[in-house]
Each structure stands twice: as C-alpha cells, then as structure tokens.
Chain A
Amino acid sequence: MRFRINLLSSFFTGLTLLATLIIFAILFVIIGNVVLHGHKIISWEFITKAPREGMTAGGIFPAIFGTMALVILMIIAVLPVGVMTAIYLHEYAKPESVLTRTIRFAVNNLAGVPSIVFGLFGLGFFIQFIGAGMDKFFGLEVIWGQPCLLWAALTLALLNLPVVVVAAEEALRAVPKETREASLALGATKWQTIRRIILPQALPGVLTGAILSISRGAGEVAPIMFTGAAYFLPYLPHKPTDQFMDLGYHVYVMATQSPDVEATKPILYGTVLVLLILTLLLNFIAIFIRSKVRRQMRQSV
C-alpha cells in the first residue's frame, strides 16, 4: 500500500516537473523559431534604412524610430505622475481613508482593463473629444483631432500607470523607517526628507517600474492601432501631431495583410526579432536591477 502511494506520488511530482519543462519548451520554441528565421536578415542596413518595394526589401528604421519616440513621450507622461501618486499613497495619505482606498481601487482596476479598451478610450476621448475640441478652440483644421504620437503616447501612459505606481510604492516601502526618522529628527521637513533621503534610495525600484513600462509600451499594439500608428509613412515623425510607424503594429499588419506572404517573410521575421530583442532586453535589465536591489536589502537588514 505504502509502495503504491509513493509510486503515485512520484508520478504526480513528475507531472509537475513536466509542466515546468513544457513551459520552458514553449519559450524555447517561440524564441528559437524567431531567431532561426530572423537572424539572417538582421544587419546594419536593416536597422538603419527605411523599407522599400512594398516591404520586401530595405530596413525598418522608421518603425524603430517611431517606437522609440512613442515610448519616450509615454515615459515623460507616466513616470512623474506614477511616482507622485506612489509618494502620495505612501508618504502623505492616511492609510484607511476613503480617498486612499479609491486611488488604490482605481490603480488596481486600471491594471486589468483590456488593451483594446484603452484604444477605444484613446480614440473616443483624446482624439475625438480633447483633440477635436482643441482644433475647434484654436480655429484650426484637423491638427490635434487625429491619430498621432501624442495621443498614442498618452493612451499608453494611462495603460502603464499601474505598473509605475506599484513599482514605485514597493520601492518606497523598502526604505527603512529609521532613516526617515533620522532625517526628520534633524529638522528636515517632510518634502526635504523625501527628496534627499527617500527618493534616492527608492530610485532603483522606480527605475525597474519605468523599464518594465517601457517594455510593455514598446510591445502593445491594440492601444495604438487607432490612436496614431501607421503601416507606411514616407517621413519620420518630428512633431507630436505626426503619425508614426511602430514595430508591433508593423508586425501585425505585415503578418495579416501582406499581399505576398513569402516575399515579405524575411522582413517580417526580422521585425519580430528586433521587437523581441528590444522587449526582452528591457525586461532583463529591469529584473536584474530588481534582484540586485532585493539582495542589497537583505544584506543591510
């Protein structure tokens, strides 16, 4: 009896190991496939030149540029707001007040909203309400009331707000309360303490959140499909009211709407590879920073 129980138990244990290995395999196959078919096309030319001949030749530089411009604008919008929200929640707010709980509720739920709903919001609010309103107010033709970098970036900023807030709060929480007390006991004001002592110590954690949000921003397509991304533009975006090309959007359109799949396959795989490298690299960096910080904290306790 004992033997049978133990045998069955070993079997189930083995199953869990199998599950783990299958997940590893999935990751390996996906990345492997992309690397296998994509690495051939990656070259300096690919990264720095624009596409030609109906996406069958040339490079994807405009998509890289557009993605970067998008992400930079997004970070400028989301990082200050997210960090300040975290500071408010952790340093100023009364723990159980209605306001605090409402903010937390809002942040948590924002995290679960489907990305296409953000796209809808970007279209309905930013472009058609704010943008069109601005055009009317300034008596312009359609300048602000159309898909562009600015609105796409703001949409992504809203999408990533929870990521930044959660990471920043975790970072603030990690600062030991004795350090805070020491500063206040020397006569520093609350804000001086935050600025000089707490924020510098919380910086790595905040950075992790920023990098994770950049990685997400670079990879999301649904929020930017209708708020600014375009498949082919003969110019690079140079003002916030310009449209832009984007790596993820490029992959989507090319994969689903390309007239000649075989011909565009190399560029397609190359684009996917670039996107993958970009997002995974950013994730690595963020995870690395986070584990380094956690190790540091364990040492100093």
Chain B
Amino acid sequence: MNQEEITMEEETQAQTEPPEDWEKKLEKPVPKILVEKLNFFYGSTQALKDISVGIKENQVTAFIGPSGCGKSTFLRCLNRMNDLIPGTKVSGKIYFDGTDIYTRDIDLSELRRKVGMVFQKSNPFPKSIFENVSYGLRIQGITDKTILEDTVEKTLRDAALWDEVKDKLDQSAMRLSGGQQQRVCIARALAVQPEVLLMDEPASALDPISTAKIEELIADLKKNYTIVIVTHNMQQAARISDYTGFFFLGDLVEFDETSNIFTNPKDKKTEDYVTGRFG
C-alpha cells in the first residue's frame, strides 16, 4: 500500500488539486468541465469576467448572447486555442475531469484530442476527404489501413455525410459544398474520439437544410459526447440544448436548464435578450 502511495504521489505531482469541496459545490454527477472564476484579457481589454460554470457530461450546453460578448473567446479557452493569440492573459481555473488544464505540465496535444473543436467557418485541409478525416489518427502514429478506413466510414456516417461522399473519398475536400465541408470537419473532429466537442456557431454559414442536418447530428451525438455550442441563433439553442448560458459583455449573466432560460429567466437582461428586445 505504501509503495502504491508513493508512485501515485509522483504521478499526481503534475496535477493541481481541485478545491476540496468541488463535489459539494454542484449537484452530482460531477461536471465534465468545471470553470472557476475565469478571467480573460486581450491585452488590456477584459473579454471574460469571473466566469464560473459547470458543463455536464453527455449533455448539450449552449451559450448565447449578442455578438462580441465573449462566447467564442470562452469556448476557445476550453481547449486552450486562445494560446495561439499573442498578448492574451488568463486567470482562474478550468478543470477537465478534475485536472486544471492551465497548469504548466499539460500536454496540449492530448488536451485538444480530448476536447475537440469545430470552427465557425469550415476549414478542411486542401487534401482529399479521406486524408482530412483520418488526419487526427495519422498524427498519432496510427497507420493501419483498416483502422483508418473503418474510422473514416464510421465518423462520416455519424456526420451524415457517408452516403454523399463514399464514392469520392479521394477527391479534394475543397470541392464540396459549404455544408458538406462543415460535416467533413465534424467527422474529422469525431475521428480522434474526443470526450467533449466544442462547436463555434456550427451552422451559421449554412443553408437551412444543412443546418437541420447538423442539428439532428448534435442531438444524436450527445449520447456519446459532451457538446458545448456557441450560437447567436436563439431558436437553435432552444431547440437542441439541454442547458443554456447567456453571455453579455463578458459576463455569464445566467446559466440554467434551457427550458428555464427561455420560459422563466431570472435576470432581466436575459429576459430582454430572449424576447428579442435587443440583440
């Protein structure tokens, strides 16, 4: 027992201990992602103010709010994509499965594999559809053709694109329509088997039919994944999410079950926004 304790001690040195009472703070089950007092600055401008929220596992959580209020910034904090922007500062903690992702010892590649992202504007690589979807696996060193082919098929099916492209997997992904490209990006993100999928306005650049397909997809995906969406389309949030958070000027004004936010909001600002008085 002592030996185990010692090795365990060494292994846990990298990880910061979450607050002792975090499990008491929120109702069980423990949230997949726990954000505590997150502040974010672009240079001297503060984009996020003291955000605290828990993202539940296997649920769809949506964040709404007028544009420029920090929703996308918040999303990008969750997989540390904001690190790519020079001059930004972060304070506060974000726990993924109990580990603070902003500690120095984090392996960023691993984090981003577990917390996947689909961007607002689809960004397929100028390569074939097959190469796009299998990219995430190949960078992990997986070269087994069978595994790659099976994963590509599975994720393209999940993204509701398989039937449309199964005969042209070798074609360049750039030749697909906008909606198809976005679904390739979704399949590509799913291929690495993330536990959380972050989606930044996933259907904003798409036509209504593609949008409907993607919303269907999201509803389907939550069985196996935790989904966090940012959208400026309130109706979309109302349709597909289980929990909704309202961002306004960098503050998380309200966070609750979706039905409550839209039918019985507690904050006046929330009410004004969801009833269309501004936005």
Q: Given contacts A179-B125, A201-B126, is CB(A185)–CB(B79) below 8 Å?
A: yes
The answer to whether B113 and A187 have CB atoms under 8 Å apart is yes
Q: B192 at interface (Cβ–Cβ under 8 A)?
A: yes
Q: Are B81 and A181 in contact (CB-based, < 8 A)?
A: yes
The verdict on A15 contacting chain B, using a C-beta distance below 8 Å, is no
Q: Which of A80-102 contact B (CB under 8 A)?
A: 94-95
The interface residues of chain B lying within 8 Å CB-to-CB of A176 are 123
Given contacts A179-B125, A300-B174, contact A185 B81 (CB under 8 A): yes
B112 within 8 A of A: yes
Are B112 and A182 within 8 A (Cβ)? no
Contact (A181, B123) CB under 8 Å given A186-B192, A188-B139: yes
Interface SS majority for chain A? helix
* B residues at A contact (CB < 8 Å): 79, 81, 84, 86, 109-113, 116-117, 119, 121, 123-126, 135-136, 139-140, 174, 185, 188-189, 192
With both beta carbons as reference points, the residue of chain B lying nearest to A182 in the complex is identified as B123
In chain A between 206 and 259, which residues have their CB closer than 8 angstroms to a CB of chain B? none
Q: Which residue of B lies closest to A192 (CB)?
A: B139
Beyond A185-B79, A197-B125, 5 additional pairs, beta carbon < 8 A:
A186-B192, A188-B139, A192-B139, A196-B135, A300-B174
Knowing A178-B123, A188-B139, A197-B125 touch, does A94 contact B86 (C-beta < 8 A)?
yes
> Once the chains bind, are A187 and B86 in contact (CB under 8 Å)?
no
* Interchain CB contact under 8 A, A187 and B84: no
Could you write out 29 A-B pairs with CB less than 8 Å apart? A94-B86, A95-B86, A178-B119, A178-B121, A179-B123, A179-B126, A181-B119, A181-B123, A182-B119, A182-B124, A184-B81, A184-B112, A185-B81, A185-B117, A185-B189, A186-B116, A186-B139, A186-B192, A187-B111, A187-B112, A187-B139, A187-B140, A188-B109, A188-B135, A188-B136, A189-B109, A196-B139, A201-B126, A300-B174
In the complex, what residues of B have CB within 8 A of residue A184's CB?
Answer: 81, 84, 112
**A185 contacts B125, CB within 8 Å?**
no
A202 to chain B, nearest CB (A): 12
Cβ contacts A145-188/B at 8 Å (1 or 0 each)? 00000000000000000000000000000001011011111111
B96 shortest CB reach to chain A, Å: 14
CA distance A169 to B189 in the complex (A): 30
Out of B86, B112, B121, B126, name the residue touching A185 (CB < 8 Å): B112
CA distance A184 to B126 in the complex (A): 16
Total cross-chain contacts (CB, 8 A): 61
User: Lowest 10 CB-CB distances: which A-B pairs, in order?
Assistant: A187-B113, A178-B123, A185-B117, A186-B136, A182-B123, A187-B112, A187-B109, A188-B139, A192-B139, A189-B109
Tell me which residues across on chain A come within 8 A of B185, comparing CB atoms.
182
B216, chain A: closest CB distance, angstroms: 23
Interface residues of A (CB under 8 A from B): 94-95, 176, 178-179, 181-189, 192, 196-197, 201, 300
**Contact status of A186 and B119, CB under 8 A, knowing A179-B125, A181-B81:** no
A94 to chain B, nearest CB (A): 7
The CA of A187 and the CA of B124, in the complex, are separated in Å by: 15
Distance from A181 Cβ to chain B, minimum over Cβ atoms (Å): 7
* Residue of A95, A178, A182, A185 with most chain B CB atoms under a 10 A cut-off: A185
Interface centre among B119, B123, B136 (most CB of A within 10 A): B123
Known: A186-B112, A189-B109. A181 touches B84 (CB 8 A): yes
Structural contact, A187 and B110, CB atoms closer than 8 A: yes
Closest chain B residue to A193, Cβ basis: B139
- For A94, the chain B residues whose CB sits under 8 A away are 86
Closest residue to A94 on the B side, CB-wise? B86
Residues of A within 8 A of B119 (CB): 178, 181-182, 185
Given contacts A94-B86, A192-B139, contact A186 B113 (CB under 8 A): yes
For B116, list chain A residues within 8 Å (CB).
185-186
CA distance A186 to B198 in the complex (A): 12
The chain B residue with its CB closest to the CB of A175 is B126
- Distance in Å: Cβ of A183 to nearest Cβ of chain B: 7
Rounded to whole angstroms, the CA-CA distance of A201 and B174 in the bound complex is 14
Q: Which residue of B lies closest to A177 (CB)?
A: B84
Q: Which residue of A lies closest to B126 (CB)?
A: A201
Docked CA distance A95–B86 (Å): 9
Using Cβ atoms and an 8 Å threshold, which residues of chain A touch B135? 183, 186, 188, 196
Q: Is B189 in contact with A186, judged by CB distance below 8 angstroms? A: yes
CB distance from A291 to the nearest CB of B (A): 19
